[in-house]
Structure formats: structure tokens, C-alpha cells
Amino acid sequence: MSSVSLRASVAEDDDGQAVITFEAVSKTYRDGTTAVSELDLVLPSDQVSVLVGPSGCGKTTTLQMINRMIEPTAGSISWDGTPLPQIRRTTLRRQMGYVIQSGGLFPHRTVLDNICTVPTLLGWSRARSRSRALELLSLVGLDRSLAQRFPAQLSGGQQQRVGVARALAADPVLLLMDEPFSAVDPVVRADLQELVKGLQRELGKTIVMITHDIDEAMIMGDQVVIMRVGGRIAQMGTPDEILDRPLDDFVAGFVGRDRGYRALTFAPAAGLPVARIRSVRSAASVATGSSPAVVVDGEGRPLGWADAAHGSTLLPLGATFAAETDTLRAVVDAALSSPVGLAVAVQSSGRLAGVVSAADALEAVRRRRLQVAERHGSAVAAAPDDGDAPSADPATLHEEAGPPADPAAPRQEVGHPPTPSPDRRTTPPPDGAAPAGPADDEREAAS
């Protein structure tokens, strides 16, 4: 095949749409196992589609049929209307970036040469491939000094970044990701998820990703496809829809118990009433009998809480949220982890912006539930299932939302460590970050 025609076709597709359409696709392996059966699926362009399901649900088979690593036994798959079998395998694959679980880097090639793989296959000049590779290296947040290292000299997270850079090297329209972050620890995973989301926003790629981690699917996906064993779709929709309206017990079970809480990830915090709060420079300067105040440093950044009842002790700040960019989930989390039941909002500079009471946060949650229920039609309102009803809790909490009356306070830490950076806030640990202890203590203490 001539590299000239290849390059031309890659360039042509640069701004095109990349819709992958599955029509009645089945895959039965020679041993009789049906990995995928009668699959109808549209993977829209410029979006992140996540296929998620337990092992054996056919998600890997589905992904690998897109770049013809696996051929379907029945049905047809097309890319922008062109049936896949009409495109040469190698041509097709060079136009689709591919990221695999543990990087899949070539151990005998330097980081730079790994990234140059597809450009080299496409016949780019060495200088062009390499300068492109350097560009990508910085795009994925790696230092140029790593260019001449070998994969074994990098950490798992760095290797996976190189894997992403390699997949993006020839500027493919479509990016296929096969459980890309499952081999790294949760903190690195959150970073990588942020990286890919950022790249997607920036570069507008169509991404098809598979994972067995429902949290990751919810965080990453514009569209989430939940598959069940035997290669059938259990439910497909936005993360929001799936969390709010699981179609059946399988989905509900898979989505998990925390889904009410998790659904808040899709509601922005912007628009919540942020109330002013008194700020002081030192815990000792709070007068007796007055309401709690936020202790700030010289730059106006919140350090903790001060409360007359505790004298000059600095109470831990709890989680904070970014007033403009965070989600309702972060607000609720901040409220629940605050020793005084007030979620602390910060500006992008880190300066104190104000507070949102737990009551206001829950009111926002309630309004959102209603909104979602209305959007999904009256059937929901008529028969809300367990996860949909806000239940009686908010009312009780409402009364207790004020400052705690009791000094049976949470552990006090002087010199509380700085709060986590705001950008990490949106990606809580996979276990759903149990609402922090202090607020629970407060509630019990107050009742």
C-alpha cells in the first residue's frame, strides 16, 4: 500500500464525523461461546462512549471488532457509512488510536520511538514524527527528559501516558481504549481520567472505551452502554439517565447502591446560593456566643473553622468545593465533611468564596431529582423506585443544619493539612467516598 494514499485518507478524515454503527452484529467463537449477539449500537462522533459490564459480557470483543482485530460472524459494522470490511485492516487501524491496559509499550524502544510508531508506519519523515512525538509528550504531561527512556524505566502511570500519546500520534479521529486505567492505583487512575477527559475536550476525539469499573464509566462517559453476559445491551444512555432510571435489577445491581449520591456528579454546583461567612485570621479571635467563622490565611485561603465553644482550637476545615466548576456531589461531600455543617466554597484562586449550608445543598438535590423525574416522564413520578425518593432524611437534617450545639466535637487537628486540590475533587475514590465521619457525629450529637 502506498503511504501517500494513506496519508491523504487520514488527513481527509481529520474533521469528519466518526460514527461507528453496529447492525445486528453477532460473534460466536469456534468453541461455541457467543460473545456478542444481535448487537445494535451507534457510537456517536466527538463523544466518549463507554462499554461497561462484568467479565464475559462481550465488551472487549465489541471493541476489537471496531478495528477488525476480531471479525463478526454475523451482521455489519460501518464507519461513517462505509462497511468495515471495505477498509484494509492496517489502513483502518492506523486511523484509530488504540490504548491497552498496561500500556502495551514496546519494551525495546524508547518512549519517543514508541510514540512515533504510527507516524513511522504512515511514512512520515523522521524529523516530523519525532517533533510530533515531543509535542505529544508534553500534551500528556510528561517531561521531555523522559523521551529517551525505555518503558521499564517509567512508572505505571507514566507508561500509560506514553500509551495515550502513542495512540494520538497520527492524530486519529477515533480512539479505542481497552480498560486503559485498570492496572494503575486509584490516585494515578483519577489523574489519567482527568487527562483523557481534558484531551477529549481539547481535541474533540471520538473515544470508545471499555471498563469493568462502573464508576469510571460514569466519570468518563457521555454515553454509557451497560452490557450483560452473552453480549447483549442491558441499558444504554447518559450516565445521568442510567443512574436515575436503571431499566432492571441487573442494571440497578451493577450501578450499585451509591447511585443516588453518584448521580450528583452530573449536576453542577454553580447556581447554588453561596452565603457570606465571617472570616477571621486566628481561631482565638472568635467572640463567645457568636456563630462559627472560617479561619483564613494571609491570602484569604480557608484553613479551618473556629467556634467560640472550642476556644482557640482550629477545627478541621473538611472538604471544600470550587464554587464555579465543581459538582453537587462535591458540595454535598463538603457539607457532610464540615464540622459545622457548612460546605466551604473556594474561588479558583483558592480564596474563600463563601459557604453553602447542608440544607441548601439538599434542597438543590431535591430540585434536581424533580427535574430529572420530569425529564424522564410521568411514569417515574408515579412509581419512584428506591433510589429516586429523597426520603425523609432531608427534613431531619434540615433542622440540624445549623452550627453544632454540642462540643462533642470531631477530632481536632491543629495545623490541618491543606485541602486537596480542587481538580482532584471531581473524581472521588471508587468506593463512593463515604460521607465523612464528622457530620454524622454532629447529627447524632444534636439529636
Task: Report the residue from 81, 107, 415, 417 that binds other proteins according to the rule CB under 8 A.
Answer: 107
Residue 251's closest CA among 387, 350, 131? Answer: 387
Smallest separation, CB 145 to other proteins (Å):
11
Please report how close the Cβ of residue 160 comes to other proteins at its closest, in angstroms: 12
**313 DSSP assignment:** P
195 alpha-carbon distance from chain centroid: 10
User: Distance between CA atoms of 210 and 8, rounded to whole angstroms?
Assistant: 30
Q: Quick check: helix, strand or coil at residue 79?
A: strand
- The CB-of-185 to other proteins minimum distance in angstroms stands at 19
Rounded Cα distance between 189 and 413, Å, is 29
The DSSP letter of residue 208 is E
Residue among 21, 37, 101, 325 that touches other proteins (CB under 8 A): 101
Q: Give the residue, chosen from 24, 83, 106, 384, that forms a contact with other proteins under the rule CB under 8 A.
A: 106
Q: Which among 316, 358, 304, 368 is positioned nearest to 334, based on CA atoms?
A: 358
Using a 10 angstrom Cβ sphere, with 0-12 exposed, 13-18 middle and 19 or more buried, the burial of residue 421 is exposed
Distance, in Å, from the CA atom of 188 to the CA atom of 141, rounded to the nearest integer, reads 13
Stretch that binds other proteins, among 13-21, 35-43, 92-100, 353-361 (CB under 8 A): 92-100
Instruction: Select the residue interacting with other proteins from 128, 257, 278, 375 (CB under 8 A).
Output: 128
Shortest spacing between CB 93 and other proteins, in angstroms: 4
Nearer to other proteins, 96 or 317 (CB): 96
157 exposed, middle or buried (CB, 10 Å; 0-12, 13-18, 19+)? buried
Residues 158-187: x where in contact with other proteins by CB under 8 A, - otherwise, as a string: -----x--xx--------x-----------
- Smaller CB distance to other proteins: residue 125 or 396? 125
* By the rule CB under 8 A, 130 interacts with other proteins: yes
What is the rounded distance in angstroms from the CA atom of residue 180 to the CA atom of residue 212? Answer: 11
Among 49, 67, 200, 320, binds other proteins (CB under 8 A): 67
How far apart are the C-alpha atoms of 259 and 432, rounded to whole Å? 9
Question: Is 117 or 419 the residue whose CB approaches other proteins more closely?
Answer: 117
Binding site for other proteins (CB under 8 A): 64, 67, 69, 89-94, 98, 100-108, 110, 112, 117-118, 121, 125-128, 130-132, 134-135, 137-138, 144, 147-148, 150, 163, 166-167, 176
